Amino acid sequence: MRGLVVYEWMAWQGFLVESLFPAATRVRARFDDSVEAVLAGIPPQTTHFLFHLNVTVTAGFPARRDELLAALAARGIRTINDRVTDISKPFVQRTCAVHSLNVALAARTMPADEPVILKTSLNHGGKTERYLPAGELARLGMQLPAPGMGPENYGVMRAGDVPVSSWDDPTLCIERFISNDEGRYHRAYLWQDRLVLWEGINPAPIKKTFADVSSRTSRFVLIEGRYRPEAGSDPGPQDLLAQLAALAPALGLSFGTIDGVFGNDGRHYIVDVNTTPFFRSRAASILDHLGGASIG
């Protein structure tokens, strides 16, 4: 996409943005960027500006973000994902609750035998946030989890076995462990009005697309607030698609991925949002469909 500037921090090589927008101008971000420094890196022909910051909470990244947004608007440059400033797991679940979507959050009052999973509130265990100075973390309103706590060692256990202190730990998010006998899960790739739904089969408790036993994709276009299947594509799980169509605009998400799981009862739950998705598969079918998006 010509005319696109990608304002990027720790999310370029191997990420979806690099494959989908090869003609974009990459502007490397700093949390202490001045408005003048950012504007100086933008070509005159810029039409769109994508915030692509590999940080969970970004309302203050860069520090003068509001001034930057105003300066971009004054130049007639449209911003993308500027409203997605919190993708922490607790915030995503609260947003689901506000919009009457299924909520995966666990409660300490739930039956002791019900399985739960302990995750970090920050994405990917706060891996990239550890590169920020302590003062910046505090200013942005983030707390790092304990060292070594991340997706590779999320704990699945009985609700009754969760340490009492964990329920009140702001660095953790405790969710119901929702699974199905097939090990089936979904990842939605979004760009503007296009969506590709990846359906994987993976028996592992923590799903990774590169470890799937099998997978398939379905293609959708957003029409009048609903994701409609492209001709020849599988219609997909309607419950999940409806939740995706509601959550993405609620968060202000125009580019990224959303992960969903479902139980044997067929109910779907959204459990993760990522504005800087890695793209290990580099699947041409995903790029081709997303590349046909309508750009406002």
What is the C-alpha to C-alpha distance for residues 137 and 148, in angstroms, rounded to an integer? Answer: 18
Q: Are residues 14 and 133 in the same domain?
A: no
User: In the listed set 143, 176, 209, which residue is the last one of a domain according to the structure?
Assistant: 176
Q: Are residues 276 and 133 in the same domain?
A: no
User: In the listed set 158, 176, 194, which residue is the last one of a domain according to the structure?
Assistant: 176
Q: Residue 14 maps to which CATH number?
A: 3.40.50
Q: Are residues 26 and 120 in the same domain?
A: no
> Which pTM was predicted?
0.96
In-domain check, residue 140: yes
Q: Are residues 141 and 38 in the same domain?
A: no
Q: Are residues 227 and 133 in the same domain?
A: no
Q: How many CA atoms lie within 13 A of 267 on its CB side?
A: 10
Query: Could you tell me the residue range of the domain that residue 36 belongs to?
Result: 4-80
Q: Are residues 189 and 278 in the same domain?
A: yes
What is the C-alpha to C-alpha distance for residues 144 and 163, in angstroms, rounded to an integer? Answer: 19
Q: Are residues 98 and 153 in the same domain?
A: no
In-domain check, residue 108: no
pLDDT for 292 = 96
In-domain check, residue 295: no
Using 50 as the pLDDT threshold, list the residues of the chain that sit under it: none
pLDDT in tens, 229-255: 999 899 999 999 999 999 999 999 999
The residue ranges of DSSP E strands in the chain, in sequence order, are 4-9, 25-28, 48-53, 78-80, 115-120, 155-158, 172-176, 184-191, 194-201, 214-223, 226-229, 255-262, 268-274
